[in-house]
Structures are given as C-alpha cells and as structure tokens.
Amino acid sequence: MIMGFDGVDLSARLRTILATLQPGGVILFKRNIQEAAQTHGLLRQIEKASSTPLFRCVDMEGGTVDRFCDVIARTPAAYEVARTGSARLFRRHGELIGVQVRALGLNTDFAPCIDLRLPESVAVMGPRTVSSNPGEVIGYARVFLNGLRDARILGCGKHFPGLGGANLDSHHVLPSVARTWKQVREQDLAPYRRLHRNLPFVMVAHVSYPKIEGENIPASLSRRWITGVLHGRIGYKGLVISDDLDMSGVLNSVSIEEAAVETLKAGSDLFLVCQQEENVWRAYEAVLKLAENEERFATVIASKAKRVCAFKARSAEVHAKFPLPPTRAKVETLRRRLWEFSEAVRLSTPSGEAITTEAGEIIGELTR
C-alpha cells in the first residue's frame, strides 16, 4: 500500500501507523505541503521512521494538478507544453518538475497523464491531456519521462486503460466508456504499448468498458485488464498500482476491503489509499486477514511483496542519497527557472512539427 495522511509533520499517530502497517510508500497532497523546507523535513522524518526504503510520491503534472504552486511557483500544464511542438521543452518540462519533486524530498511522480484528449473527457481532464493523436501523446510522454529520469525521479503512466472516452470524474462516480476493443486497442492502449519499457509504474483507473467487459467492472479491479491486457498482451514488466481506492469511482461499487483485495487479485502490485485514515487501516486489515486465512492469496501477496522489494533494491531513485534541505536561495532559483520556462512555452509557436513527424511514424507502426 501507498498511503496518504493528514498533517504537515510526523505526529505520534503517523509514526504508529508507519511502524504497524509498514507501507510501501506515502503520497503527499497540498494538505501536507506548507513550505519547501517543512515538506523536506516531513519526508526525511518519515523515511527515518520506516523500516524499509519508501516510494515517496506525489501527483505533480503542472497546470491543474500542481502540488507545489503555492510553495515554489506555477508549472505549465502538459497541454500548454505539448502545443509548442518542441521536444526540448517537453524534456525541460519533465526535468523541472523532477527537480522540484527531488528538492522537496520525494522520489516518485505519478506523471505523465497519457490518456487521449478526446471530446468526451476534455471538460473533466482539462489541460492534463495533450492530444487525441496517440503518436503525439507518445512523443510528449517519452521525452517528459526522460526529463524526470534526468532529475532521478520515477515516473508513472496513467490512467490505464484510458480515461479519454470518459465524461465523468472517477473521484465522484465510476465512468462508463462506450468504446470498442478495436478503438481501445488501436488508440487508447497505443501509448502503453509503445512506452511500456519506459514506465516504472502504470496506474490503473477506476473506469469501466461495458462493451469489452460485458459489465460495469472498474478496470482497477479487473483481472482481464490488468493481468490479461497490461501484463499479457502489452508485456508490461514494471509495477502496477491502482488509482486511489478512496475514490467514489470504486467505493460506489464495492467496500474499501473488497477493493484492496480485488485489485491485488486482479494483478496490481500496489494500491493507493489517499484520503481517510480509517480506510487505510481497513484496507490493510482486509488484505492481512485474507492472507492469514487463505494460503493461495498469501502466496500471491508474498510474490507481490518480493517484486516490490526487488524493484526498490535496483532503483537508483529510491536509494539516492536524501537531498539537502531546500534553502531560500534554492527555492528562488527554482522559481526563476520556472518563470523562464513558462515564458519559453508562452512565446513558442505551436507548430507541432517536433511531434508530428514521430506521430506519423508511430501510427504507421501501430496500424501495420
């Protein structure tokens, strides 16, 4: 489990939770981020309180999903950057986000968003998505991930198998997407097929595809999607993580206990519980209880734990030396660099040429 929590410091309560649950990681939101030095100190204390190295995570995409805008500066959204058509700016986007993430003491960014920018989802996703053209999504995401890697930050492709056709927000309700397998295979899944070796994590969405599944099962709980398609057809070998199980998109269908167990059975290696402390405990206890009472499930959990530990053991990002606390001068430097980058994005002509050529080559490969 990767867990969220309340507060801006390591309380006695949080210390007890970390010691008891021994989660695979923690995730920070704006409610945890007061200022740069405080965030760094919080994460340093959490890491020291843990018995194993942690995935120290954040959702940091820029634009409408920008956890650092109040403590550092606003970062442009993916759509703004992608419109420039500049591979140099794509990489710079990833690098600048990664540098911020690392400076505050984190090592994992759940970005980029590689959903297609389709008419159905634009009102919900806004500037988080870059294009309806799979090749252009791939072109941006590949270079963005290189930028994250330059900053020694793990990235994540999301939201598998795709929220491009969803007109509802899975934070509040389970979206049902009326797309066929042919559409999904040729379009929504193209970024995952092309980038599956570049993605340390893939995050699975709370979204249903009734024309494919035959019923409204969230992909995050679906063995067909995770084990059958992501692992089987696409050949993805990295870590699979469910989207936040505290979201109504899944909890309107099942309990938090069922969600935690079923996503693991379906093929996820990790799951997120981000909002309520009660649900963190309930998810943990459900998995533990079933593992104690069902040998087959215990074997599955042991295998997943081994995979996660092996990933961490070989991850330079997880084992990188904890950065020095961010000074005021460091924060001011980051602000200046972000301002310069924002100006470069604003002044660049959105020709699209840098990704259009690659997009054509990729689409040609995908349709052969």
Domains of the chain by residue range: 2-354
Residue with tokens 């930028």: 147
Q: Which pLDDT score is estimated for 350?
A: 56
pLDDT of residue 51: 87
Q: How many CB atoms lie within 10 A of CB 237?
A: 10
Say how far apart CA 5 and CA 108 lie, in whole Å: 17
Q: How many C-alpha atoms does 119 have within 13 Å on its Cβ side?
A: 0
CATH superfamily of 2-354: Glycoside hydrolase, family 3, N-terminal domain (3.20.20.300)
Of 150, 169, 171, 231, the catalytic one is: 171
Is the separation of the CB atoms in 73 and 100 below 8 Å? no
Strand order across the beta sheet in which 108-109 lies: 108-109, 55-58, 25-28, 2-3, 270-273, 239-244, 201-204, 156-160
Whether the bond into 159 is cis, omega within 30 of 0: yes
Measured distance CA(241)–CA(188) in Å, rounded: 18
The tens-digit pLDDT sequence of the chain (368 residues) is 999 999 999 999 999 999 999 999 999 999 999 999 999 999 999 999 998 899 999 999 999 999 999 999 999 999 999 999 999 999 999 999 999 999 999 999 999 999 999 999 999 999 999 999 999 999 999 999 999 999 999 999 999 999 999 988 888 899 999 999 999 999 999 999 999 999 999 999 999 999 998 888 999 999 999 999 999 999 999 999 999 999 988 999 899 999 999 999 999 999 999 999 999 999 999 999 999 999 999 999 999 999 999 999 999 999 889 999 999 999 999 999 999 999 999 999 555 443 433 443 433 443 23
N-to-C CA span, the chain? 40
Q: Are 138 and 195 in contact (CB under 8 A)?
A: yes
Sequence-distant (6+) residues with CB within 8 A of 238 are 196, 199, 200, 201, 202, 311
CB 245 within 8 A of CB 273: yes
pLDDT confidence of residue 362: 38
How far apart are alpha carbons 93 and 328 in whole angstroms? Answer: 22
Which pLDDT belongs to residue 249? 85
Tokens representing residue 207 in the block = 């979204």
* Predicted local confidence at residue 352, as pLDDT: 43
CB 239 within 8 A of CB 270: yes
Q: What 8-state DSSP symbol labels residue 113?
A: B
Tokens at 340, concatenated: 């310069």
Active site residue 243: yes
Residue 65's pLDDT is 96
Catalytic residue among 66, 243, 244, 246: 243
CA dihedral 20, 21, 26, 29 (to 10 degrees): -80
